[in-house]
């Protein structure tokens, strides 16, 4: 893969784009501005991933030596310029949509910079920063389509699952983080306590997520797909509770990502707009 594409981690950035479209589908308010919003999220998330690699080149040399900077396929200076360009274009496009979206994009960019420079190494604060940024993808879209309440609820559950996954990833990256002098939660308090907290977050999010149906935000089609996601999350919680080895954390991290993808699918199929379309097409 081309280094300029790889360093922005397009798969992760696309998850943010999907979050934007999910809000539009659930709210059923269609505007061309959502396309610009999706591009803004992709650019700023890509910039955040790039600047993260800039600051983490020593950690990545231990944990992920195949990445563009530690592998020598991109210099740190080029990465910094690339990240600055992505941030700038993203914020300008967000300002075109409106002042509120411009402010959200600018604040998100600043938070991503501080995360990569300082916050990532701090116990829990770094995890919460990334979880908040994930939730902001939904809030950002909610501002664009004019319905922040639904977007905030969806963002809350995205926050919880991202928080759990970030804690699991910190467990996976303990060795490299120690080399860099990071003070992540598993380094300070140990993997076992970290695993317990991550598992509790997964359980809480899984067991309370059906409330979105009972609140009337989503239709009954949300439930069966959500059930699949809940099974994945419960399996992840059980696995990390029993085994905190690097091999286990890698597997759980990937499963959590799949579970989040299934949850996103549940949001889409459970939206009143999609449910109505399915009923018209098949019944």
Q: What is the CATH number of the domain that holds 253?
A: 1.10.357.140
Question: Higher model confidence: residue 59 or residue 273?
Answer: 273
pLDDT per residue over 160-200, tens digit each? 999 999 999 888 888 777 776 777 888 888 899 999 999 99
- Residue 72 confidence class, pLDDT cut points 50, 70, 90: confident
Task: Please give the torsion angle defined by the CA atoms of residues 258, 260, 262 and 265, in that order, rounded to the nearest 10 degrees.
Answer: -140
pLDDT class for 275, splitting at 50, 70, 90?
confident
Domain count, the chain: 1
Express each pLDDT in 5-49 by its tens digit: 888 888 888 888 999 999 999 988 788 899 999 999 999 999 999
Percent of the chain with pLDDT over 90: 59
Identify the band that residue 280 occupies on the pLDDT scale cut at 50, 70 and 90. Answer: confident
Q: Please determine, for residue 1, whether its predicted confidence score (pLDDT) is greater than 70.
A: no
C-beta separation of 60 from 252 below 8 A: no
Q: What are the phi and psi torsion angles at 243 (to 5°)?
A: -140, 120
> How many CB atoms sit inside 10 A of residue 175's CB?
12
Phi, psi of 183 (to 5 degrees): -120, 55
As a whole number of angstroms, the distance between CA 265 and CA 275 comes to 12
User: The whole model's pTM is what?
Assistant: 0.88
Q: How many CB atoms lie within 10 A of CB 216?
A: 8
Between CA 210 and CA 201 the distance in angstroms is: 15
| Distance from C-alpha of 38 to C-alpha of 141, rounded to nearest angstrom | 8
- What number of CA atoms fall less than 13 Å from residue 26's CA on the CB side? 33
- Taking the CA atoms of residue 83, residue 89, residue 94 and residue 97 in that order, the dihedral angle to the nearest 10 degrees is -170
Question: In this structure, are residues 152 and 138 in contact, taking their beta carbons and an 8 Å threshold?
Answer: yes
What are 197-226's pLDDT values in tens digits? 999 999 999 999 999 999 888 999 999 999
pLDDT for 258: 92
Q: Which domain holds residue 74?
A: 3-282
What is the model's pLDDT at position 27? 87
């Amino acid at each position: 893969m081309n280094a300029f594409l790889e360093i922005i981690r397009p798969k992760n950035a696309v998850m943010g784009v999907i979050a934007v479209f999910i809000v539009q589908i659930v709210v059923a308010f269609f505007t061309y501005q959502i396309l610009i919003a999706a591009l803004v999220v992709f650019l700023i998330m890509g910039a955040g991933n790039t600047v993260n690699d800039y600051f983490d080149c020593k950690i990545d040399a231990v944990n992920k030596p195949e990445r563009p900077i530690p592998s020598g396929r991109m210099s740190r200076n080029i990465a910094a310029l690339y990240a600055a360009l992505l941030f700038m274009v993203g914020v300008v496009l967000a300002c075109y949509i409106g002042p509120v979206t411009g402010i959200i994009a600018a604040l998100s960019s600043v938070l991503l910079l501080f995360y990569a420079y300082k916050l990532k190494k701090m116990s829990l604060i770094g995890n919460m920063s990334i979880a908040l940024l994930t939730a902001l993808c939904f809030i950002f879209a909610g501002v664009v389509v004019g319905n922040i309440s639904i977007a905030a609820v969806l963002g809350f559950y995205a926050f919880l699952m991202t928080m759990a996954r970030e804690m699991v990833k910190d467990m996976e990256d303990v060795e490299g983080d120690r080399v860099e002098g990071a003070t992540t939660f598993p380094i300070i308090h140990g993997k076992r306590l970290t695993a317990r907290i991550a598992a509790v977050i997964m359980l809480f999010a899984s067991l309370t997520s059906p409330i979105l149906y009972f609140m009337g935000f989503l239709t009954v089609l949300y439930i069966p797909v959500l059930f699949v996601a809940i099974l994945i999350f419960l399996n992840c919680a059980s696995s990390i509770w029993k085994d905190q080895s690097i091999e286990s954390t890698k597997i759980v991290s990937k499963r959590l990502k799949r579970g989040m993808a299934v949850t996103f699918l549940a949001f889409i199929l459970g939206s009143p707009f999609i449910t109505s379309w399915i009923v018209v097409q098949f019944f």
